[in-house]
Amino acid sequence: MVKGTLIGLIAGGGQFPLLFAEAAKEAGYQVVAVGFDGETDLALASHVHAFHLLKLGQLNKLIRIFHKAGITRVAMAGSINKTRLYAKIRPDWRAFRLLASLRNKKDDHLLRSLAGELEKDGIRVEPSTLFLPGLLAPEGLLTRRHLNAREQRDVLFGWDMAKAVGHLDIGQCLVVKDQAVLAVEGMDGTDETIVRGGRLCRQGAVVIKVSKPIQDLRFDVPAVGLQTIETMRTVKARVLVVEAGKTLIFDREKVVEAADRYGMTIVAMADPPSGTETKSPEKNLLGSSSAEATLTPKPVPVIRAAQPGALRTAVIGVGYLGTFHAEKYARLEEAQLVGVVDIDPARAERLARRLGCLAYTDHRDLMGVVDAVSVVTPTQHHFAIARDFLEAGVHVLVEKPLTKSLEEAQELVRLAEAKGMVLQVGHLERFNPAFKALEPYVRNPLFLEAHRLAPFNERGLEVDVILDLMIHDLDVVLHLVRSPVVTFSASGVPVLSRLPDIANVRLEFRNGAVANLTASRISMKNMRRLRIFQENRYLVADFSNRRAYSFLKEDELDESGYPEITMEELDVDNRDPLEEEIRSFLESVRTGSAPVVNGRQGMEAVRLALAISQKIHARIQSLQGKGAE
């Protein structure tokens, strides 16, 4: 673009006009701005080539200013207080004629008519995002927290309602909860709509802001910013949904940071929403069949600059799971991803380029340059790599299982404790939102039942299904029961690999609790579910779908004389379990606090898993011997 090219700006309130002016200058334009008394930030004058302050309604003067400056292209940016617009406007003759000719004064019709009036005088209206496409919301999940099941239903319901309301050209914002509309935006604006709707529910409102189907995005782009988040906070609203590519997010990094700090979710959705899936009808917890739409927006890829004093980190082994570890470290401000290590140099180099770090093929090259590492290699390599780092004074997060043998696990625990290093084990279900929602309700469980079923996958076949899958549930059960196992029975068989692919275990604890666990890696479907029975309560954690339920026996009896049962779907704070696990690890390193799953707990899970594996192996050999007779 030619230096000195002119463009006009019709500036309302807020920061948008200033951002537009700065971006236009960077693009080589001189900006001639017209602002309005009581609306426009006067600081705009120092950011533009020329600034004129008018009163609302001086349309003829506005056009003369642009003609005199030689302006043939303008943009409209910023808001006008609608209450003031109708109460304080003093139209000149040209504005009066324009208003008198309107069949209605709805936002979109009014702005289109203004644009038409300007174009009659040879002034073309450009999109307000002409120089600022980066302000438009990218599609996907912007925050750490994900939508839980109830919020997914509310978002899909509210989106359709917001679009239907948009056809009426009333407003861009809707507030919903439990698939009921709490507030619709009127002349009072988005913030007041959030307050009205939020006050009608105790907490957890979902705020949806979309473009209207007939909206002209040249000059009326929906916008949110820090003030939106602060307003939501005052009424404990939990979710903000905007339309991807059609909504401005001012100060996006600060907005996302504030939302993360307050435990909110921000999702930018396309229209129609993508990432939706209707599950096949299946028996639910109440025994009835239903098909339910789910919404799982993908996180927007983010690489954040490390904050001062961030821990220097690396990932050893960047195959399928290790890549996720590296992406999480790159996303976290409290970590500086120094490098990734893999025996495949090309794989390490590709990921390092994408995440802005160094690539290595030998983990020993990182000694002295990292504070903490994730070890995400095949199980047989866990011990040697973790030992090297612990001996060098580096904190270690090891994927489960901790090691392949009990002796190796004991040595790592001994070494970590002697060196004062954090040794955390990657039992991810402890960070699953469903488990975290259920855990506070667990009191002296009497019977636990877990099913962990998965289709066949070639990853992890170096160990049996006990060390591959069931060890997750062994860790969870040991954590909840908090009593030694006194006896167990186990059975399992190899089907598609040389090691057991399916197994069932019954554990009996010293305190009388019993657990029945089933694991299969040759199933036709995915299932990860835990049921807990205790006095007066039955709890369910659906790890796969991140939902949790409580069934409570009430003191009152029903008409038939049986106890009343109250069923409640627990509120799930849906966050990425792996990111939460890594955050927890870094927090332990930084503060010296005990990790959620320490080395000793990982060692006890290995001890029990190996004992189960040995019993199953002995049983298989015994059966094979009998078959040979």
Return the HEC string of 235-257.
CCCCEEEEECCCCEECCHHHHHH
**What distance lies between CA 193 and its chain's CA centroid?**
25
pLDDT score, position 535: 94
pLDDT score, position 398: 98
**How many CB atoms are closer than 10 A to CB 50?**
16
Q: What is the DSSP string of 190-211?
A: HHHHHHHHHHTSSS--EEEE--
pLDDT score, position 274: 62
CB 255 within 8 A of CB 249: yes
Residues paired with residue 438 on neighbouring β-strands, in sequence order: none
Which 3 state secondary structure label does DSSP give 521?
coil
CB 240 within 8 A of CB 259: yes
List, by residue range, all CATH 3.30.360.10 domains of the chain: 430-571+588-599+606-615
List, by residue range, all CATH 3.40.140.80 domains of the chain: 136-269
How far apart, in whole angstroms, are the C-alpha atoms of residue 159 and residue 208? Answer: 7
pLDDT in tens, 278-320: 554 445 554 444 456 677 888 887 777 778 889 999 999 999 9
Q: Which residue reads 């292209």 in tokens?
A: 73
**How many CB atoms are closer than 10 A to CB 477?**
25
Which 3 state secondary structure label does DSSP give 339?
strand
Q: What is the DSSP string of 9-23?
A: EEE-BSSHHHHHHHH
List, by residue range, all CATH 3.40.50.720 domains of the chain: 311-421
How far apart, in whole angstroms, are the C-alpha atoms of residue 564 and residue 566? Answer: 7
Residue 449: closest CA among 393, 522, 504, 389? 504
Class of domain 430-571+588-599+606-615: alpha beta
Overall pTM > 0.85: no
How far apart, in whole angstroms, are the C-alpha atoms of residue 524 and residue 210? Answer: 40
CATH of domain 311-421: 3.40.50.720
Q: Is the four-CA dihedral 241, 244, 248, 249 of positive or negative sign? A: positive
DSSP 58: -
CB 493 within 8 A of CB 520: no
pLDDT score, position 306: 77
How far apart, in whole angstroms, are the C-alpha atoms of residue 276 and residue 218? Answer: 29
50-54 and 73-77 beta bridge pairing: unpaired
Question: Residue 556: phi, psi to the nearest 5?
Answer: -75, 155
CB 329 within 8 A of CB 376: no
Which 3 state secondary structure label does DSSP give 462?
coil
**How many CB atoms are closer than 10 A to CB 581?**
25
563-569 and 547-557 beta bridge pairing: antiparallel
Architecture of domain 5-126: 3-Layer(aba) Sandwich (3.40)
CB 473 within 8 A of CB 530: yes
- Amino acid in the structure at residue 565: I
The terminus-to-terminus CA distance of the chain in angstroms comes to 89
CB 219 within 8 A of CB 75: yes
pLDDT score, position 104: 65
Residue 225: closest CA among 407, 517, 14? 14
Q: Which residues contact 160 (CB under 8 A, 6 or more apart)?
A: none
How far apart, in whole angstroms, are the C-alpha atoms of residue 461 and residue 245? Answer: 44
pLDDT score, position 288: 44
What's the Cα-to-Cα distance from 189 to each of 185, 355, 424, 438, 447, rounded to whole Å?
6, 40, 49, 39, 53
Residue 569: closest CA among 553, 545, 551? 551
CATH of domain 136-269: 3.40.140.80
How far apart, in whole angstroms, are the C-alpha atoms of residue 417 and residue 440? Answer: 29
Residue 401: closest CA among 467, 465, 459? 467
Task: Report residues of the chain scoring pLDDT below 70.
Answer: 1-4, 82-88, 103-109, 272-293, 460, 625-629
- Amino acid in the structure at residue 367: M
Q: What angle do CA 77, 80, 81 make, to 5 degrees?
A: 155
pLDDT score, position 147: 94
Q: Which residues contact 189 (CB under 8 A, 6 or more apart)?
A: 81, 82
pLDDT score, position 284: 53
